[in-house]
Amino acid sequence: MKEMELKYGCNPNQKPARIYQKDGELPITILNGRPGYINLMDAFNSWQLVRELKEATGLPAAASFKHVSPAGAAVAVPLDETLQKIYFVEGVPLTPMATAYIRARGADRMSSYGDFAALSDECDAQTAAYLAREVSDGVIAPSYSAEALEILKKKRKGNYLVMTMDPDYVPAEIETREIFGITLEQKRNSIKLDAEVLKNIPTKNKEIPESAARDLLISLITLKYTQSNSVCYAKDGQAIGIGAGQQSRVHCTRLAGNKADVWFLRQNPKVLNLPFREDIRRPDRDNTIDVYVSDFSEDVLKDGAWQQVFTEKPEPLTAEEKKAWLAQLSGVSLGSDAFFPFGDNIERAARSGVRYVAQAGGSIRDDNVIEACDKYNIAMAFTGIRLFHH
């Protein structure tokens, strides 16, 4: 197939819409559902991300995409009991592929609501079963087991989008896009990110352990497919906070840092033991938890409103409790898609447990950024590589 008609473009008024291949056949196959324009933009970007994560780490990789940026990305590192609980998979047998996607979706469950999923390896029955119970628009993978495909074809009343991508497909080196009737052309960003990009360490602390190097590569590869400006916090094989599309880099760092803080606050014993009613759906629990850890107060508990969600009135998580809990977050890795122009980015990152940083370097204020890292004993690598994505 060389061409496929789409329902519409980015918006319903943008018709006609299609995808086509100038030379050869399209490298995708639609196994179920009907793709939209944004579905395919998410699919093609997320597929590149998970393929590169697998190449860089050797582990099955997954991504959860929304509006052409990842809400989360991860590789298959086993989940501890706490993460199993906050990701709603306690006692569930998990394959490596399922583990990678559960981690990817768990980075920011609110943003992953209605996501497009990408898997580096075959979608097995366990991964399909998890996808089937979450709100998701579609999935792309190199293949599906017969049982997995049967499960996914029943999702969304039979309309769930299931796609394969030819794992051997290699696009042309030169890519083009048209904006306002004008064609832009550039070499495709085929740069490979591996441990070699982390060798230049100008800080006093030059120790980047293997696990942190893995997490730094996860953050950098994630940023390669995130709308710029972008910053990514990562820990234990997954993104835990992604800031995308901000005009100021420090706003990216704050946004991603706030998401990383929420990810860790979800693991607080008070949050783990919130007395939810059994009939409260997972998305509603996610929304409630976000309010609880962000700006929950006694005012929210007035007039019995808590009875709509909880079986008993919960105690607020105080500012002092949140501060004490977040002080325990450590060993976080941080990637930036370009250089940090000011040390304020490091100051904010340190508040969310960042101990390892990878950024392009090359700012006239590099000395200021290095000094900020040395203040917190952070090891920072200058990659010399900018990763803007638009």
Distance CA 372, CA 257 (A): 17
**Is 235 among the catalytic positions?**
no
Cβ atoms of residues 261 and 352 within 8 Å: yes
Token reading at 74: 């991860």
- The DSSP bridge partners found for residue 179 are 182
Q: Which CA distances in Å does 384 have to 6, 359, 362, 381? A: 40, 8, 7, 9
**Pairing between strand 161-165 and 136-141?**
parallel
> Out of 22, 157, 187, 390, which one is annotated catalytic?
390
Q: Where are the alpha helices (DSSP H) in 175-295?
A: 210-224, 249-265, 269-272, 282-295
For residue 282, give the amino acid letter: R
**Is 66 among the catalytic positions?**
yes
Q: Taking Cα atoms as reference points, which of 331, 334, 332, 329 lies closest to residue 369? A: 334
Query: What is the distance, to the nearest Å, from the Cα of residue 345 to the centroid of all Cα atoms in its chain?
Result: 20
> Out of 39, 45, 66, 322, which one is annotated catalytic?
66
Distance CA 178, CA 341 (A): 32
Q: Which CA distances in Å does 386 have to 64, 144, 190, 361? A: 23, 35, 13, 9
Distance CA 112, CA 117 (A): 9
**Is 345 among the catalytic positions?**
no
Distance CA 359, CA 365 (A): 13
Cβ atoms of residues 388 and 249 within 8 Å: no
Token reading at 287: 């929304």
> Out of 39, 229, 268, 345, which one is annotated catalytic?
229
Q: Taking Cα atoms as reference points, which of 250, 218, 211 lies closest to residue 331? A: 211
Neighbour tally for 262: CB within 10 Å = 19
For residue 383, give the amino acid letter: T
Report the helix count and the strand count for the chain, using DSSP H and E.
12, 15
**Is 251 among the catalytic positions?**
no
> Out of 67, 85, 251, 389, which one is annotated catalytic?
67
Catalytic residues: 66-67, 229, 390
